Amino acid sequence: MTHTMDRIIAHVDMDSFFTAVEVMDDPALRGRPVIVGADPKGGQGRGVVSAASYEARRFGVRSAMPISQAYRRCPQGVYLRGRMERYAEVSRHVMDALSAFTPLVEQVSIDEAFLDLSDCRRMLGRPPDMGRAIKREVRRSAGVTASVGIGPNKMTAKIASDLRKPDGLVIVSAREMPSFLAPLPVNRLWGVGPALESALQGVGIRTIGELAGADPAQLERRFGESARQLHARANGIDDDPVAGGSGIKSVGRETTFDQDTADPGLVRRKLLELCEDVAGRLRHHGVKARTVAVKIRYRDFDTLTRRSTAGVPTDATGEVWETARSLLAAGLQPGRPVRLIGVSASNFAADGGQSDLFPPDDPRRRKRRSADAAADEVTARFGERALFRAGRLERPGPRRPSTTTR
């Protein structure tokens, strides 16, 4: 087994992936501020930015920003609806390209992955040669650029890939790792969000180096048991392996309505649409989920999330929908206008688990799986709107929801 300090781990992150695909498909967009997300005019400025090109970022436009705010900052931008089928297609080309270097590829989202290159020295050479080869192959195979970070562990590689975007390459050896990490702000570490960053600053810790030099016992007394792991990360200790196959932790989809609605039928129909997509993506990734969650955001931005965890995982559309429908019924408040609805699936198991609604040989279960397989085939050939359940018929004009995979 390769020792931790002898490992060569790469993090490959596509540069503004959604907008890069749009520019690749329409070269006339090159050099222009491109924003993928909601329509800032047709949807009354509702929804959020899914991705912003680097040209748009110069105007202060960022992912997850309300689309109305993005439009105020960059009215001259090109605003496009997302095309998740196309992004998923290009993502498959990227992941196929990465798999040519090593079977140890852990995809963590639609546009990023970790690779364990520890046993590839003889074939690929030194880490800089590896990084350049990966970047060339991604561009050749998928037509987009990637930033690559290479280090002795996943955490360091991830931090490195973020430092010189776009089209960057940063190599950090095990010997260089302490001096590389030390001056960086503490929020670069996994697990340090705004609240924890503020708390650490409150005790005089602003950089990773300051955290690495702190007394772990005092940190634990102040911040709890997780502080020891955080202290270890600050010292470059991360033994997390690169897991071959899908590293995705959850699959979710949500949509903001063009107008707030108190119509429970409309909310249910939209939720069914989202469930169809989420279940299809579970099958695409070859995983089954034990946990289904439904998110409801009301007009006043009050957000409610309900979850249900089953003993046996599933990827069946009907079962995801039945769980989500029950969660919606428990959380939906009559007469209160809804702004956003979403569904996610998590707590994965590898494909091969059985549904807990029907025995494995039950004809109803076989019929459901056959229907799902047929639907997946039609969707793959003709697009996501080619086939859908009858429960979605009474709905307003089509609106493409945003998709999130983590």
Is residue 56's pLDDT more than 50?
yes
The pLDDT, as a whole number, for residue 352 is: 40
> Which residue of the set 22, 55, 112, 276 is catalytic?
112
Buried/exposed 74-86: b ≥16 CB within 10 Å, e otherwise? beebbbbbbbbee
Q: Is 112 a catalytic residue?
A: yes
- Tell me how far apart the alpha carbons of residues 357 and 55 are, in angstroms, rounded to a whole number: 50
313 CB neighbour count, 10 Å cutoff: 24
Is residue 106's pLDDT more than 60?
yes
Give Cα 305 to chain centroid, integer Å.
19
**Considering the chain, what is the average pLDDT of its residues?**
84
Is residue 338's pLDDT more than 90?
yes
The pLDDT, as a whole number, for residue 392 is: 44
CB contact set of 120 (below 8 Å; sequence gap of 6+):
8, 101, 102, 130
CB 23 within 8 A of CB 34: yes
% of the chain surpassing 70 pLDDT: 82
**Structure pTM?**
0.63
The stretch 165-176 carries a mean pLDDT of: 95
Q: Residue 281's closest CA among 371, 104, 404, 368?
A: 404
SS3 at position 11: strand
Q: What DSSP string describes 258-296?
A: EEEE--HHHHHHHHHHHHHHHHHHHHHHTEEEEEEEEEE
Please write the tens of the pLDDT for every residue from 21-51: 999 999 999 999 999 998 887 655 578 899 9
The pLDDT, as a whole number, for residue 54 is: 96
The pLDDT, as a whole number, for residue 152 is: 95
Q: Using 50, 70 and 90 to split pLDDT, how confident is the model at 55?
A: very high
Please write the tens of the pLDDT for every residue from 194-220: 888 999 999 999 999 999 999 989 998
Please write the tens of the pLDDT for every residue from 279-306: 988 887 777 888 999 999 998 888 899 9
The stretch 129-134 carries a mean pLDDT of: 96
Give 139: exposed, middle or buried? Use CB within 10 Å, 0-12, 13-18, 19+: middle
The stretch 332-337 carries a mean pLDDT of: 94
Q: Using 50, 70 and 90 to split pLDDT, how confident is the model at 6?
A: confident
Write the single-letter amino acid at 392.
Answer: R
The pLDDT, as a whole number, for residue 111 is: 92
Is residue 400's pLDDT more than 70?
no
Report which listed range, 76-90, 236-250, 274-288, is most confident.
Answer: 76-90
% of the chain surpassing 90 pLDDT: 52
The pLDDT, as a whole number, for residue 371 is: 54
Q: Using 50, 70 and 90 to split pLDDT, how confident is the model at 381?
A: very low
Partners of residue 245 on adjacent β-strands: 106
> Who has greater pLDDT, 288 or 358?
288
- Tell me how far apart the alpha carbons of residues 271 and 111 are, in angstroms, rounded to a whole number: 26
Is residue 144's pLDDT more than 90?
yes
Instruction: List the domains of the chain with CATH numbers.
Output: 8-173 (3.30.70.270), 182-234 (1.10.150.20), 249-405 (3.30.1490.100)
The pLDDT, as a whole number, for residue 244 is: 66
